[in-house]
Chains A and B, each alone.
Chain A
Amino acid sequence: AQTIHQWPVAEIKAVGSPLSLGCTIKGKSSPNLYWYWQATGGTLQQLFYSITVGQVESVVQLNLSASRPKDDQFILSTEKLLLSHSGFYLCAWRGLGGRDTQYFGPGTRLLVL
């Protein structure tokens, strides 16, 4: 069975500090991977997706970047956090193609002060 793990579970960070959020998928080779940001109040915003190692497509950057260093790993980062980065970050995976279900991780809650 496939499992998706996100770390950390939660973070409190200062404005201007760096950030790195991680996502790992086990039990699925070559998944498509996704990062979402969810503001307080619920709207989901797709940020990035990746269909293979080393290849990341940006949907909305929000002064963030993403990388896929390994087949099962997806990293979201920034060198300087903004207050507007606060929210809930969700990683997701799916198989190939638009008809595959997208499976979400448990999320990372970020508070920027």
Chain B
Amino acid sequence: AQSVTQPDARVTVSEGASLQLRCKYSYSATPYLFWYVQYPRQGLQLLLKYYSGDPVVQGVNSFEAEFSKSNSSFHLQKASVHWSDSAVYFCALSPNNRIFFGDGTQLVVKP
């Protein structure tokens, strides 16, 4: 069965620090993976996506993610966070017309 797990409900980091938001997936075939961000009271915006090829994918606002088939993971990273990065981040898996989202990780960036 397909599923996405984001083990951290909330992550707090200081501005300027590096960030990793974890995502683990369960899927037997080639996964199509996405990271979305949701700012308060808004819809979801795409940060980046992975289909195949280079396991490190670049996204908007200097976010990147690394796909690992051996670990079934797709962790989101950023070298230096800004206070405006505070939001909820969702990892998603899309095998077909069903799209599976993780529960989200709330990122709080402290000044």
Q: Which residue of A lies closest to B97 (CB)?
A: A49
Q: Quick check: B49 and A46 within 8 Å, CB to CB?
A: no
Q: Quick check: A102 and B34 within 8 Å, CB to CB?
A: yes
Which of the 9-residue segments A13-21, A68-76, A103-111 touches chain B?
A103-111
Contacts of A92 in B (CB 8 A): 44
Check A102/B94 contact, CB under 8 A, given A34-B99, A42-B104, A43-B104: yes
Task: Say yes or no for B96: interface residue by CB 8 A criterion.
Answer: yes
Q: Which residue of A lies closest to B101 (CB)?
A: A44
| Interface size class of chain B, counting residues whose CB lies under 8 Å from the partner chain | 20 to 34
Q: Which residue of B lies closest to A46 (CB)?
A: B99
Task: Say yes or no for A113: interface residue by CB 8 A criterion.
Answer: no
Task: Say yes or no for B42: interface residue by CB 8 A criterion.
Answer: yes
Contacts of B42 in A (CB 8 A): 106-107
Q: Least Cβ distance of B68 to chain A in Å?
A: 19
| Interface size class of chain A, counting residues whose CB lies under 8 Å from the partner chain | 20 to 34
Task: Say yes or no for A53: interface residue by CB 8 A criterion.
Answer: no
Q: Quick check: A102 and B99 within 8 Å, CB to CB?
A: yes
A49 to B44, alpha carbons, bound, how many Å?
A: 17
Check A98/B96 contact, CB under 8 A, given A44-B90, A104-B44: yes
Chain A facing B: main interface SS: strand
Contacts of B97 in A (CB 8 A): 32, 49, 51, 57, 98
Q: Least Cβ distance of A1 to chain B in Å?
A: 15
Q: Quick check: B32 and A99 within 8 Å, CB to CB?
A: yes
Contacts of A102 in B (CB 8 A): 34, 46, 92, 94, 99
Q: Least Cβ distance of B63 to chain A in Å?
A: 15
**Hey, which bits of chain A sit against chain B, CB under 8 A?**
32, 34, 42-44, 46, 49, 51, 57, 59, 90, 92, 98-99, 101-107, 109
The 7 A-B pairs with the shortest beta carbon distances in the complex, nearest first, are: A104-B43, A104-B44, A42-B104, A44-B101, A98-B94, A99-B32, A98-B96
**Hey, which bits of chain B sit against chain A, CB under 8 A?**
32, 34, 36, 38, 41-46, 49, 51, 88, 90, 92, 94-99, 101, 103-104, 106
